[in-house]
Amino acid sequence: MSLNNKIACPLDCYDACEAVFENGKIKGNKKHYPTNGNMCANFISCIKQEYLKTPIYNNAEITLNKALNILVEKLKEVKPENSLFYKGSGNLGVMQSSLKSFFAKYGSILTQGSLCDGGGGEGIKATRGEVVNPPLEKLLQADVIIVWGRNFSVTSSHMYELVKNKSFITIDPIKTHIAKNSELHLALNPKTDYELALLLTRFAYMQDLEDEEFCNKFETSEEFFELAKSRPILSYEEATGVSLEDINRFFEIIENKKVALVLGLGVQKYYEGANITRCIDSFAAFFRIA
């Protein structure tokens, strides 16, 4: 029997909170960084909920062994190559991959990505070949944190607690909790994130703020800038609903500062999700944002 009493929160927040089970109770793990022994309101609410303790089949409670036997028989009835395994994101712990590993060995057809992050991942891969999440240290080192399409102070409350004294810029159609606590809130129109990213790129280029080393290495700056300047600036303002005054304020805040960008899943849920994420990622790389 495993003596490991650590528990990963079953929710799909970015923090992936860790707790411990001791003396019949679940409590925060003081040895886990960045939660430092604290559990957020979402985790506390989750463990107070009633949950299914007995398998149910055809509206009747059955034993766990019987439930497993039913699943085994159903898998025997079909050829593995005729079965499809699909699941969403959910818990971010290591055990998240256990089901996928089983069905991979069984021989099922597997899916890649999910409705939440699949499109965004493809967009980033199209830009620079791989998806890399910047470490928490990048946020700690930053002077300004740009929060794009993510209610950072709610969905990542533990990380936010560590950086809450930073300057924040929020880009979101909705006035979220983090937007209310930001130095600047760009309340863009829905589905215009890629246009805003192109507009920001255009301003960065005009102000000679591009990362020359990166642009020279990949030889993409001119091509990307041509795309950004392919339409009048005023048309960007009209489409996004973000004033040029706010765009100028954006660059005043980040001028000569270390900047980090935190991107949420919301921008990926449109039909154009991959291209939206690709443009945002391209702007971040162009301007050398962590």
Which letter, b or e, does each residue of 159-179 get, where b requires 16 or more Cβ atoms within 10 Å of its Cβ? bbeebeebbbbbbbbeebebb
More confident residue, 38 or 121: 38
| Domain annotation covers residue 102 | yes
- Cβ pair 15, 92 in contact under 8 A: no
Claim to verify: residue 229 and residue 89 sit in the same structural domain = no
Q: What pLDDT was estimated at residue 254?
A: 92
In a domain, 171, yes or no: yes
Q: Positive or negative CA dihedral for 152, 155, 156, 161?
A: positive
pLDDT at 2: 44
6-10, 38-42, 184-188, 255-259: which is most confident: 184-188
d(CA 101, CA 157): 31
**Are 157 and 268 found together in one domain?**
yes
133 and 277 co-located in one domain: yes
pLDDT at position 1, please? 34
Of 247, 262, 133, 138, which Cα lies nearest the Cα of 200? 247
131 and 282 in contact (C-beta within 8 Å)? no
Residue 246 lies in a domain: yes
- pLDDT tens digits, 238-286: 999 999 999 999 999 998 899 999 888 777 777 777 788 888 888 887 7
Give yes or no: residues 80 and 23 share one domain.
no
> Do 86 and 168 fall within a single domain?
no
- Please state the domain count of the chain: 3
The residue range of the domain holding 243 is 118-286
Q: Which of the pair, 146 or 217, is modelled with greater confidence?
A: 146
Indicate if 139 and 157 belong to the same structural domain: yes
- Across 92-101, 179-188, 274-283, the highest mean pLDDT is recorded for 179-188
Distance of CA 270 to CAs 88, 262, 282, Å? 17, 18, 18
Residue 19 falls inside a structural domain: yes
DSSP conformation class of 113: S
Give the domain CATH number at 199.
3.40.228.10
Residues 85, 105 within the same domain: yes
Residue (of 80, 278, 134) closest to 197 by Cα position: 278
Domain membership flag for residue 59: no
Whether residue 25 is contained in a domain is answered as yes
Tell me the C-alpha distance between 120 and 111, whole Å: 15
Cα-flanking dihedrals φ and ψ of residue 7, to 5°? -130, 135
Q: Are residues 76 and 19 in the same domain?
A: no
**Residue 146, Ramachandran bin (φ over 0: left; ψ between -120 and 50: alpha; else beta):** beta
Same domain, 168 and 262: yes
**Cβ–Cβ < 8 Å for 89, 265:** no
Residue 132, in any domain of the structure: yes
User: 153 and 194 in one domain?
Assistant: yes
What is the number of alpha carbons within 13 Å of residue 213 lying toward its C-beta?
1
pLDDT tens, residue by residue, 124-169: 777 666 666 667 888 999 999 999 999 999 888 888 989 999 999 9
Q: Which of 22-26, 41-45, 87-91 has the lowest mean pLDDT?
A: 87-91
Asked which of 81, 110, 139 is the last residue of a domain, the reply is 110
Q: Which pLDDT band, with edges at 50, 70 and 90, does 93 fall under? A: low
- Cα gap 247→200, rounded to integer Å: 7
Residue 212, both tokens = 């020359």
Which pLDDT value is given to residue 219?
Answer: 62
The mean pLDDT value for 32-60 works out to 85
Most confidently modeled range among 52-61, 109-118, 179-188: 179-188
Tell me whether residue 216 is in a domain.
yes
Write the CB contacts of 134 (distance below 8 Å, at least 6 apart in sequence): 260, 290
Average pLDDT, the chain: 84
Beta strands 184-186; 167-171: pairing state: parallel
Q: Residue 134 phi/psi, 5° resolution?
A: -65, 140
Is residue 76 domain-shared with residue 128, that is, in the same domain? Answer: no
Average pLDDT over residues 107-125: 72
Mean pLDDT of 200-227: 74
- Ranked by mean pLDDT, which of 45-59, 203-217, 246-260 comes out on top? 246-260
